[in-house]
Amino acid sequence: MRFAKRNFRLFVGLIAAVLCLGGCIQPEPDGTENESATQPNFEQVTVEHYYETATYAYATEVDEGVLATGLNKAYLVLANKNYVLGEEYEPEELVTLPSKWTTYSMKLDLRAANALIEMMEEMTAAGIDDTYVTSAYRSYTRQQELFDGYKVKEMNGFSTEAYALLGYEYIYSHYIANQMTGLTPADAEKVVLSYSAAPGTSEHQTGLCVDFITQSMAGVLDVRFEDTEAFAWLSQNAYKFGFILRYPEGKEETTGYSYEPWHYRFVGREAATDIYYANLTLEEYLGAVGE
């Protein structure tokens, strides 16, 4: 087992190297790159899979067909601060998620939704029935609205996030001492970027990821999710359904995001299994970080 795992790590490393040599395109610093130019090229890559590790403890039926995707580009699309989706990017086919698993009406990519439903069925069968999806697909326009809304809020006061990023001294000397009651647009944007994705850079625009929340969290999504039964279950099982923990602890440098125990991304079961066993981020898997 250990031997196999080491070999697998080497194998993934090799793939990352091949990907980088073959198709690593550094994003333009001004963020003007288009989608087709920035997605890593992995057409000729083959990856060893670990299907046999996926066993389902409770549900009587799991549709394997909706979990496997192959290394399909559509499900491995990268969206982060460097790989910008842009205003035009839209998921191919969106469906509304069953309301019993969501906190309000929301949509997800068809295949990701089917995989999510299989996963929720299995999780419920395991006795975890207090978990909901609180965020799924978000359009460019919606992200723009949210972003602008946050900016207005920062321009109308000094938030905890503003103090955390800019520091008390800065806010006092630049603002309070000058009888100003909110941040300038430039500072406001800087603060908002510390907790919200800019339009076009949110993974939620792919329609391939969800945020979970439990009933006990009373509508406030934060790292307490890590202490839930749902998190413990997802940590062991999400990959079997093609989902990965997208922003793991200790990987902030490669993802560009702080730890988000609640955010799960569909990549298909082949990639999810490989990413899970090799302890990688999506960026590392795609060879999109580093040189």
Helix (H) or strand (E) holding 214: strand 209-214
What is 126-143 written as a DSSP string? TT--SEEEEE----HHHH
Q: How far is the CB of 263 from Zn ion (least distance, A)?
A: 4
The 3-state secondary structure of 7-55 reads: HHHHHHHHHHHHHHHHHCCCCCCCCCCCHHHHCCCCCCCCCCCCHHHCC
Closest distance to Zn ion from the beta carbon of 130 (Å): 19
In terms of CB distance, is 19 or 234 closer to Zn ion? 234
Residue pointed to by tokens 């990965």: 244
- Amino acid, single-letter form, for residue 20: C
* Nearest distance in Å: CB 85, Zn ion: 14
Nearer to Zn ion, 200 or 287 (CB): 200
Integer angstrom CA distances of residue 255 from 169, 268, 287: 30, 19, 12
By C-beta, is 158 or 241 nearer to Zn ion?
Answer: 241
Closest-by-Cβ residue to Zn ion is 263
Kindly tell me which of 142 and 174 has the beta carbon lying closer to Zn ion. 142
Between 158 and 266, CB nearer to Zn ion: 266
Least spacing, CB of residue 138 vs Zn ion, in Å: 9
Residues forming contacts to Zn ion in the complex (CB under 5 A) are 211, 263
Output the CA angle 45-48-52, nearest 5 degrees. Answer: 145
Q: Nearest-CA neighbor of 125 among 53, 213, 210, 60?
A: 60
Minimum Å gap between C-beta 135 and Zn ion is 6
